[in-house]
Amino acid sequence: MTLSRVVVIGAINWDTTIFVRKFPQAGEETIVHQIIQTPGGKGGNAATAAARLLDRNQVAIFGGIGGDSIAAEQLRMFEVEGVNVAGLKRTEEQQSGQAFVVVDETGENLIYTHPGANVSFSPDDLNEPTRKDQISRASCIAIINPPLETAIKLAHEARTLGKRIIYDPGVNAEKGLGQLQSIIKCTDYIIANESEVRNLTGTVDSVKASEILRRCNPQLKVVTKLAARGSIMFGIDEIVQCEALDLQTIGMRVTNTVGCGDAFLGAFTVALSENLPDLDALRWGSCCAGLKAAKPETRGGPNRETLLRHVGQVKVTKRPS
């Protein structure tokens, strides 16, 4: 069995994306200009984004898939991308997860998700020998949106083993800080967008939010994704501000923002796995997210050569906290 440098655990979905000029009001009909169907899901997206920046089988994906044709296609696509699938769980009696995404002409989106087999990946599944070996050998564990009990168990086991843990709460941010404290206490980096930060802390003020989160874990580094405004990280003794990649300067434009946050997580985790400084990890994440935004597909992250060609154009500044 090939053991990987990075383990990503999270949802694996099949995305049906429809492109419209504007979102319809209730009861209104609107014309669909394009429909594309692609593999997605936050875990699958982040793992794929990371795998494109590393050698084959250096990124392992944990998650649940069904017994349908969607699962077979997901496995095929992961093989093409070089993602290690030894840690996947296939549940024959369930449907694979699916998401239905509506994108307007500005690149903004609405997402409707059917979790399906994603919810089948239980804490006990982490005890399977292959998965235990992957966890023990990996340097970084990225947790994005598996079932909450599974995320809690993995975070605690990874902390005991001294792994670097990157946590993106995703939709679980709606559960509030109280239910996520046990994960956050184990986490090295938490990555969330502004709405997730508000759900967790009750404020969109990134300074106040970081203070609230770090009461749970004084060593925690808090990364807030600010979409077109870039990202900001509050560390133990410094604040790092990172601008978004300016697509116009490289002859690109925003096409679809779905999956940008997942691409950010994948690239950020890879940079940490290579022991790059936090400043560079933030720059890698922002650059990867920006390049993904120029692609219509959900898993549109760049390869390593493309990322390295553009990452120097992402401006980063830091100051004492």
Q: How confident is the model at residue 183 (pLDDT cuts 50, 70, 90)?
A: very high
pLDDT digits (tens, 9 = 90+) for 14-57: 989 899 999 999 999 999 999 989 899 999 999 999 999 999 99
Q: Is the pLDDT reported for residue 156 higher than 60?
A: yes
User: What pLDDT was estimated at residue 117?
Assistant: 97
Higher pLDDT, 256 or 221: 221
Q: What is the DSSP string of 81-100?
A: HT-B-TTEEE-TTSPPEEEE
Task: Identify the CA nearest to 8 among candidates 153, 135, 142.
Answer: 142
What's the mean pLDDT in 165-178? 94
Q: Indicate the average pLDDT of the chain.
A: 94
Q: How confident is the model at residue 75 (pLDDT cuts 50, 70, 90)?
A: very high
- CA-to-CA dists, residue 194 to 129, 144, 198, 203, 228, angstroms: 38, 16, 6, 9, 12
User: What pLDDT was estimated at residue 38?
Assistant: 87
Exposure class string for 90-118: b at 16+ Cβ within 10 A, else e: bbeebbbbbbebbbeeebebebebebbbb
Q: Is the pLDDT reported for residue 1 higher than 70?
A: no
* CA–CA gap between residue 232 and residue 235 (Å, rounded): 10
Q: Give the predicted TM-score (pTM) of the model.
A: 0.92
Q: Identify the bridge partners of residue 233 per DSSP, sorted by sequence position.
A: 223, 240
pLDDT digits (tens, 9 = 90+) for 243-258: 999 999 999 999 888 8
CATH architecture of the domain with residue range 6-24+33-320: 3-Layer(aba) Sandwich (3.40)
Is 292 in contact with 259 (CB distance < 8 Å)? yes
Is 189 in contact with 165 (CB distance < 8 Å)? yes
Is 72 in contact with 39 (CB distance < 8 Å)? no
pLDDT digits (tens, 9 = 90+) for 295-304: 988 899 999 9
What's the mean pLDDT in 199-223? 93
Considering only 80-89, 92-101, 102-111, 126-135, which range has the smallest mean pLDDT?
102-111
Tokens describing residue 221: 């580094």
What's the mean pLDDT in 84-94? 95
Is 184 in contact with 155 (CB distance < 8 Å)? no
Percentage of residues in the chain having pLDDT higher than 70: 99
pLDDT digits (tens, 9 = 90+) for 51-69: 999 999 999 999 999 999 9
